[in-house]
Structure 1
């Protein structure tokens, strides 16, 4: 599945929608994580490109390897 930023914003984890987030152009499904409730984890929100935030807060991609890749961000 390829999504634009606008399309990705639909997958915000609220009201029963899936919770997706992009990092480095890869879209991950965070829906089943107990840490992402209603599309929110700490101060992060699903449905967005979290590349910048991810690099500030996480030392590596081992965190993302737990989540399924569902697509790629496109222009």
Structure 2
């Protein structure tokens, strides 16, 4: 995972399912492609929006971060 490309928050924000066809979210500095997930259609998952860092929002989720293991890591968030 060390060789993943770096993306800025602005680049991540474009992968929101609206501006570009990709649907990406970040968690703990890693960006995941959730485009194929039926739960992220149109870039929205319940009250969460794609193209963002969801690390802080995970605390309120009914699941743990292991749910991201089924998605491909496509980059790292440059902060």
Distance in 2, matches of 1:63 and 1:53, equals: 14
Mark the runs of 5 or more structure 1 residues left unpaired by the alignment. none
How big is the alpha-carbon RMSD for the aligned residues of Structure 1 and Structure 2?
Answer: 1.4
- Structure 1 residue ranges (4+ consecutive) displaced by more than 6 angstroms after TM superposition: none
CA contact (8 A) 2:31 2:73 kept: yes
Distance in 1, matches of 2:25 and 2:14, equals: 11
Shift of 1:38: 0.6
SS at 1:38 equivalent: helix
Mark the runs of 5 or more structure 2 residues left unpaired by the alignment. none
Aligned length: 75
Whichever structure has more helix as a proportion of its residues is 2
Shift of 1:62: 1.8
| Corresponding residue for residue 24 of structure 1 | 28
Q: TM-score, normalised by structure 2?
A: 0.86
After TM superposition, the structure 1 stretch with the greater mean CA deviation from structure 2, 60-69 or 44-53, is 60-69
